[in-house]
Amino acid sequence: MPSKIPVQLPSGYMEFFSSLESWQNEQQIKLQAAVDVEKAEEPQRKIAKHRRPLIITTGLQIDPVLYRQVLDDLLVFLIKQRPDIASNLEIIQKEVPDFNFPVLIARLIEQDMDYLEQLAHSLKISPELFIFALDHAIRPFLRVYAAHYQADILEHTYQNWDLPTICPICGSRSHFSRLRAEDGRRFMFCDRCFIEWETRYLECVHCGNDEPGKINYISVENDTSNQLYTCEKCRGYLKTYDERPSGLPTDLFLANIQTIYLDLLAEEKGYSNHNNDWSNK
Ligand SMILES: [Zn+2]
Ligand SMILES: [Zn+2]
């Protein structure tokens, strides 16, 4: 697969994310028995009624001791994988014993990034690295939780969720979709909790525009699977993996990272993924 990348990613970049994903999968398997998810009844109704991601409505009980264990292990993993930034990671390691874990977990679930950023500043840690480590440590827990609702979400997305770029389970913003091999239907993918939800094939996920001719798609030479859908109305774009040319599914977490060249291409053409536009969340 890497041979298709028109933009050279830094050496070891994909390998790092691939190892991280495998590590998180192992954690998720281990946590399955330890995380007690009391499945909400009729989750689709709760989502529609509150118009908020399900996890905000139901909450998720995470044992602070377990989360700390996963964070400790993740920091060890990251130091091994990324010796170039080991000294920064060790600063986080030193602070771990003083963290207020129940508060941190609550803020991570609410995605209160301002709080986390301020905390990082007060500890003199790079906010980007701090949030990366803390958030990646909670992802295996979120994936255990989200997996309980995948079937409900696939069945009921349209009628109950009108914010296609926001994950209806964990509230993270999605920038990636796939078109299913058998029927070309479109599913958004959350790289945080790993669930998918259906959205309309030809409708802008940012503004709802479905005027003929106002949604276009771009692909890069020799690669018909990875595509950019662009909207002339809001100048938004969405990256998409189309399963139809190859007939094969792909790892959507890695595909999103591997197609950074499509983000660059879209930005070059004046489109935005509206990542910083939190006002319409
Ligand atoms: Zn999610
Ligand atoms: Zn649009």
96 and 134 fall within a common domain? yes
**Which residues are in the CB-under-5-Å shell of ion ligand 2?**
204, 206-207, 209, 231, 233-234, 236
Question: pLDDT tens digit string along 229-241?
Answer: 999 999 999 999 9
Q: How far is the CA of 152 from the centre of ligand 2 (A)?
A: 27
Supply the angle between the helices 86-95 and 64-81 in degrees, to the nearest 10: 160
Look at residue 37 in the predicted model and tell me its pLDDT: 85
Which ligand is closest in space to the CA of residue 135? 1
For residue 125, the model assigns a pLDDT of 93
Q: For residue 252, give its domain range.
A: 159-280
Residue 52 and residue 77 in one domain: yes
Structural domain ending residue among the three candidates 147, 176, 206: 147
Note the ligand closest to the C-alpha atom of 195: 1
**Spatial contact of 230 and 237, defined as CB atoms under 8 Å apart:** yes
Residue 236's pLDDT is what?
97
Is residue 195 within 8 A of residue 146, CB to CB? The reply is: yes
The CATH number covering residue 184 comes to 3.90.1670.10
Q: What is the pLDDT of residue 150?
A: 95
- Write down which residue in 147, 177, 196 finishes a domain: 147
Is residue 154 in some structural domain? no
Ligand found nearest the CA of 146: 1
Residues 170 and 78 in one domain: no
The reply to whether 250 and 211 lie within a common domain is yes
Ion ligand 1 contact residues with beta carbon within 5 A:
167, 169-170, 172, 190, 192-193
Structure tokens at 25: 């999968």
Which of the ligands is closest to the CA of residue 203? 2
In this structure, which amino acid lies at residue 174?
Answer: S
pLDDT of residue 4: 47
Is 202 part of any domain? yes
Q: Find out whether 281 and 163 touch, Cβ atoms under 8 Å.
A: yes
Q: What is the pLDDT of residues 50-72, one digit of tens each?
A: 889 999 999 999 999 999 999 99
Residues (pLDDT < 70) of the chain are 1-6, 277-281
Q: Residues 11, 122: one domain? A: yes
pTM of the model: 0.93
Looking at the fold, whether 29 and 138 belong to one and the same domain comes out as: yes
Distance from Cα 266 to the centre of ligand 1, integer Å: 24
Whether residue 153 is contained in a domain is answered as no
The answer to whether residues 58 and 137 belong to one domain is yes
Number of structural domains (the chain) is 2
